[in-house]
Amino acid sequence: MQHKPSYDPNLIPTLATNSNFDASPKAVLPATPPPSLLYLSFNQDHGYFTVGTNHGFWIYNCDLFREIFRRDFDHCNGCIRVVGMLFRCYILALVGDRPNPQYPPNKVMVWDDNQNRYLKLLHQIETIANMKGLCVDSQGVGSLVLVCPGLQKRLVRIEHYTSKRRKFIMAHDSRIACFALSQDGQLPATTSTKGTLVRVYNSVDGSLLQEWLVVSSDKGTIHVFGLKFNSGSPCSIKSQSASEPPYSSLSFIRGKMSPPVNRCCKRP
């Protein structure tokens, strides 16, 4: 038995026969623009790097030179301003941007992509107004140290989570402008808004180990200081020989290295 088609193939729709037919010219829709790159960071061993875009985030393997995986969201809710990867596991720190309601710009969301869930908050620290987002943690295996501003503009707070201890250091006379931390969490370095000194401390007892005079200027010069410590005790300053200029540094000017210059000062 032959079935008749449910429509007439010879029927040509017209304005008279089909009121839903639109004979007006159709506008050509623009192609979807490619994602904009907003952020790039390497993991702790530089084997992977993550990319934040206005549509989501991507993860690449540096050894294989290829993309491992990506998460793309819709255009309105997918902006990832900051993304970081924890070593080589699928735990990511995500910070969004407006108008993203799921990842607000004032919160860090820790996401476990393997278990498809957010990790719960373990600890919260109250600090002074921290517009620059100053915070750094140790990257070495076996140490868990976090450095952040205290409740005063000159105060640095050091949290030792492994030993459940904390230390406060009155680092400078002016507001803290920047700080860094060695991978093992033993040596925090700080500088203030005055910008004249870089100080290196012992994170355990808060003692000042070294102090460097910053002589950078508008000439494009960056000074690199070598921290020298005894091999048996990484937080003890190595003694200098008589022929070796104390606290020497290397100056890099526009990518060219100049001979060592003695432009540092030792704390009296």
Residue 31 lies in a domain: no
For 196, the token pair is: 């004249």
Q: How far, in Å, CA of 247 to CA of 263, rounded? A: 8
SS3 152: coil
180 & 246 share domain: yes
User: Quick one: which of 126, 132, 227, 127 has its CA closest to 178?
Assistant: 132
**pLDDT given at position 259:** 41
Segments forming the whole domain that contains residue 71: 37-118
Contacts of 222 (CB under 8 A, 6+ apart): 216, 251, 252
Q: Cα torsion at 173, 177, 180, 186 (round to 10°)?
A: 20
β-bridge mates for residue 37, sequence order: 53
pLDDT > 70: what percent of the chain? 67
238 & 156 share domain: yes
Residue 210 lies in a domain: yes
Residue 2 lies in a domain: no
**pLDDT given at position 251:** 37
Contacts of 68 (CB under 8 A, 6+ apart): 48, 59, 60, 61
158 & 248 share domain: yes
pLDDT in tens, 239-268: 343 344 444 443 333 333 334 433 444 443
For residue 260, whether the previous peptide bond is cis, meaning omega lies within 30 degrees of 0, is no
pLDDT in tens, 27-65: 555 567 777 888 999 988 889 999 998 888 899 999 888
- What is the average per-residue pLDDT within 91-105? 79
> Of residues 136 and 6, which shows the higher confidence score?
136
- CB contact at 8 A, 166 and 156: no
- The total number of structural domains in the chain stands at 2
Q: How far, in Å, CA of 210 to CA of 266, rounded? A: 7
Asked which of 84, 118, 152 is the last residue of a domain, the reply is: 118
Asked which of 86, 118, 150 is the last residue of a domain, the reply is: 118
212 & 248 share domain: yes
- CB contact at 8 A, 258 and 241: no
Residue 39 phi, psi dihedral angles, 5° rounding: -160, 150
Q: How far, in Å, CA of 12 to CA of 248, rounded? A: 88
Residue 126 lies in a domain: no
Residue 196 lies in a domain: yes
200 & 239 share domain: yes
> What amino acid is encoded at 85 in this protein?
M
Residue 45 lies in a domain: yes
Asked which of 63, 86, 118 is the last residue of a domain, the reply is: 118
Residue 23 lies in a domain: no
182 & 107 share domain: no
143 & 59 share domain: no
For 193, the token pair is: 């808004």
82 & 153 share domain: no
142 & 169 share domain: yes
For 34, the token pair is: 């490619």
> For residue 175, how far is the Cα from the chain centroid?
22
Residue 125 lies in a domain: no
User: Quick one: which of 220, 210, 170 has its CA closest to 186?
Assistant: 210
Whole-model pTM over 0.75: no
DSSP state of 267: -
- Which CATH number fits the domain that encloses residue 209? 2.40.128
- What is the average per-residue pLDDT within 228-237? 54
187 & 222 share domain: yes
